[in-house]
Structure 1
Amino acid sequence: MPFHHLPRRSLGFFPTPIVELPRLSQSLGGPRILIKRDDQTGLALGGNKTRKLEFLIADALHQNCDCVITAGAAQSNHCRQTAAAAAMVGLECHLVLGGTPPEQANGNLLLDEVLGATIHWTGADRKGEQLNAISSQLQAQDHHPYVIPYGGSNALGAVGFVAAMAELQQQLQAMEQSMDAIVFASSSGGTQAGLTVGRSFLAMDVELIGIRIDKAEDEQLSYGDQLAELATSTAKMLQSECHFHPADFRVETAYLGAGYGVVGDLERSAINLLAQSEGILLDPVYSGRAMGGLLDLIRRGHFHRQQTVLFWHTGGQPALFAPQFSLKETNSFSG
């Protein structure tokens, strides 16, 4: 694969397992459902961001940086994994988190503190709006910071999911298994862009369906345009002139509910169903909403019984332990 020329720092346990969900499939009357367990990557309770961080952290070390800085919501899975990766390689970690300090840390935020991250609270800004300003402050203090964007979703981060598609293809070949569709949570775009580039490079005949879990009201480009731009940049980083267009991406936007981090019946039902049928936990914001979308697509007949669908579990279970979230009541959850 063309990513082998890029620095990469091993941070996780790969390949992550692929397992079948027979009881879930039976309860739905088909199709056959498999799950890719990126919640088992191993870095501070796992998650898909480890794939991106293997390339991003390697680049930070290559540039002789002494700290990394990234941003997210108070219960950010990406920030938790970044803090763990920084600790693993001996870099300071600064997290720029939306919101205000709670009376008691819990969930991902508790783990951020345990991992030694320095936290900068930024109120309503949760998508890295203040990253550059805080980076400048660190530089003024004689630090050499490496800025990782929200979700790790730049071209270098997306390379992690080009590599993930190569990993998946090898696993499917070993299993003598084909796949009709892959369904996953889509937010900052790096996962979907990387998978799409990987599908193109590997000539894989599989439908990629991103379940949108977040929509910013101030987006200047449509999400399809953002994905196309990111995928094209990722391909260029991999020394390819391949260009992508919004039509190359399927994004389901019908499952946004009341918005980012607002947990409703869709997420609660999906979390309970998978837990009680297969003993697998989802998180309340990303994989819970994505699985809810997949279940709805199945129930509406998008897939037939003979098809095989892979759900890409992106992790995030520590957020289940934040008291803002309840499986019994509708709650606002910042995840």
Structure 2
Amino acid sequence: MNLTHIARRRYTEGQTPIEFLPNLSEALNGPRIHIKRDDLLGLTSGGNKTRKLEFLMADALAKGADTIITTGAVQSNHCRLTLSAAVKEGLKCRLLLEERVEGSYNVDASGNNLLYHLLGAETMRPVAGGTDLAAGMEQMAEEARSEGRTPYIIPGGGSNALGALGYVACAEEILAQCFESGLELDHIVSSSGSGGTHAGLVAGLVGNQAGIAMTGISVRAEKAPQEEKIRNLANAASELAGARQDVSASDVVVRDEFVGPGYSLPTTEMTEAIQLFARTEGILLDPVYTGKTAAGLIGMVKEGAFDADSDVLFVHTGGSPAIYAYRDEVLG
């Protein structure tokens, strides 16, 4: 795989660390758990979308864009970071916000919503859950064109083949860090939502013949359609990266039993996971993505999915600003 021929902006200085979590590992009486701190990536308050935006914003700039249009939920980390990247590049940004849980949009809410206002989003347009978001963004793009603008549409989560290259690069970064430190990983656990992070990691691991198993913890979709989506996206990213090996069905594993009643809706396991990470390691998780992913990791440890002597990497995809809009869910 070779990403050097693909245009890329850099929003993070150096690599994000991989840290051993001794207190959490002891508390779970399980394998050695490590964490990839992608919550420390660049742009406003960090998170996994920063890696995707390095490729997407480079493409937008190459095409002469002056207005970025994207979509996400009302407390979207992706919208926060896309807006932040637009600010960094001197571009305008318009957001289409999907109210995936009825009644959840509040113009005065804290969390990411507060940051949309602080960072100066040009438009924040709420729409009902289930809205055709692609059509909605195209309408916003037409409005921008009618104003003499040059819009560039970034899909939700930045999860197309180009955006997924950010996590192909992350997979290679993880492998390089493991080589330097002598860490032999047995398993990687990450969120599986819009798909770019999960798909990019799988593509990078398979393309580099890493031999490391990976599980994506779904935060919204059911197992079968999510696995199909991840495999298709991973192969599209692999093709862009020039990989010689396809991602097979057996390379893509999704666990969907930690979603609970629905996207962003709390579960007891999620709350307990957030509190456990905070109170053993001082690490903040969010209730929508990393909290449920951590609940999945803990559930897998308890069911004996990992050998006690194995090394497991939890990919922290960020999202901590959202906790300020979910006080009751976080504290239980």
Q: Is the Cα contact below 8 Å between 1:236 and 1:242 reproduced in 2?
A: no
Task: Specify the SS of the correspondent of 1:71.
Answer: strand
Alignment of 1:291-302 (within 5 A): 291-302=294-305
Secondary structure of 2:329 counterpart: coil
Deviation, structure 1 residue 242: 3.6
Q: 1:81 to 1:132 in 2, by over 3 A?
A: same
1:67 touches 1:94 (CA, 8 Å); kept in 2? yes
Cα offset for 1:127? 7.5
Aligned length: 326
AA matched with 2:108 = Q
Q: How many angstroms does 1:235 deviate by?
A: 1.5
What does residue 62 of structure 1 align with?
A: 62
Look up the equivalent residue of 2:114 and give its one-letter code: L
Match of 1:116 in 2: 120
Return the match for 2:310 from 299, 302, 307. 307
Query: Could you tell me how far 1:234 is from its partner in structure 2?
Result: 1.0
How big is the shift at 1:134?
Answer: 1.5
The sequence identity of aligned pairs, in percent, is 40
How far did residue 157 of structure 1 move?
A: 0.3
| Correspondence for 1:137 among 126, 136, 143 | 143
C-alpha distance in structure 2 between counterparts of 1:182 and 1:103, whole Å: 37
C-alpha distance 25-176 of structure 1, shift in aligned 2 (>3 A): same
By how many angstroms is 1:243 displaced? 3.0
- Structure 2 unmatched ranges of 5 or more: none
Name structure 1 gaps, 5 residues minimum.
Answer: 330-335
Question: How much does 1:305 deviate?
Answer: 1.3
Q: Give the one of 160, 167, 175 matched to 2:166.
A: 160
Q: Which secondary structure does the structure 1 equivalent of 2:33 belong to?
A: strand
Query: Alpha carbons of 1:308 and 1:284: their partners in 2 closer, same or farther (altered >3 Å)?
Result: same
Looking at structure 1, the residues matched to 67 and 228 of structure 2 have their Cα atoms a distance apart, in angstroms, of 32
Matches within 5 A, 1:274-285: 274-285=277-288
Alignment-derived partner of residue 235 in structure 2: 232
- 1:326 aligns to what SS in structure 2? helix
Counterpart of 2:264 in structure 1 is 261
Contact 1:51/1:160 (CA < 8 Å) preserved in 2? yes
| Equivalent position SS for 1:75 | coil
CA RMSD of aligned residues (A): 1.8
What is the TM-score normalised by the length of structure 1? 0.93
Q: 1:111 to 1:103 in 2, by over 3 A?
A: closer
- Find the aligned partners of 1:67 and 1:93 in 2 and give their Cα distance: 5
1:105 aligns with 2:109: yes
More helix by share: 2
CA deviation after TM superposition for structure 1 residue 142, in Å: 1.5
- For residues 241-278 of structure 1, give each alpha carbon's deviation from its aligned partner in whole angstroms, at most 9, with x where no partner exists: 54333332010111110010001101100000111011
- Residue 9 in structure 1 maps to residue 9 in structure 2: yes
Asked if 2 retains the 8 angstrom alpha-carbon contact of 1:225 and 1:245, the reply is no
Q: TM-score, normalised by structure 2?
A: 0.94
Which residue of 217, 237, 241 maps to 1:211?
A: 217
Question: 1:75 matched to which residue of 2?
Answer: 75
Query: Aligned pair in 2 of structure 1 residues 204, 157: CA closer, same or farther (>3 Å)?
Result: same
